[in-house]
Homo-oligomer: A and B are copies of this chain.
């Protein structure tokens, strides 16, 4: 991975998406992946969003993560302007629990895919970005594998402890 130029771009349509999308940045940081954060809207700044997507690969970006809510067009608008892998995070906002954002993100037409994660799945968007980068950057693969192993270990330890509870009242 080149010095410190960002490999990943984290884009969101509005500052109000930051409390969710911050988790993407946190995981990328933990995994050692350099990234940039960008607020750019498919509907309010369409030209800038298109330009940002078009220029991303040449600027060294290798994966783009876009989070948006409601009629969530951001990930699709970016995917329409680059052949880089684009990950979409459907954000719950408005009244439909994020189902609107999920459908608007995942049901893309043939030729312009968006790699969609769970509603509000900002952390998983980062893990998916790391999986993608792992095919090229051994150190990201190593970080991912180490994280996976550690998560497993923690769960196994809990599980050992828990195997002894036969009485739910013993724990509160």
Contacts and interface: CB of A to CB of B under 8 A. Distances in A.
B44 A80 contact: yes
Number of copies: 8
Interface residues of A, number: 100
Contact of A165 (B37, B97, B156): B37
Interface centre among A99, A115, A125 (most CB of B within 10 A): A115
Given A107-B104, A148-B111, A168-B26, A120 B132 contact: no
A117 B113 contact: yes
A43 B79 contact: yes
B36 A71 contact: no
A80 B46 CA distance: 7
Nearest to A119: B95
Given A70-B118, A158-B39, A95 B92 contact: yes
B98 A106 contact: no
Interface string A64-105: 000001110100110111011111000010111111101111
Nearest to A6: B166
Interface centre among A48, A79, A168 (most CB of B within 10 A): A168
Contact of A18 (B45, B77, B171): B171
A8 B156 CA distance: 20
B117 A108 contact: yes
Given A70-B108, A148-B111, A171-B18, A45 B156 contact: yes
Given A46-B50, A46-B80, A115-B117, 4 more contacts: A37-B162, A45-B159, A69-B109, A113-B131
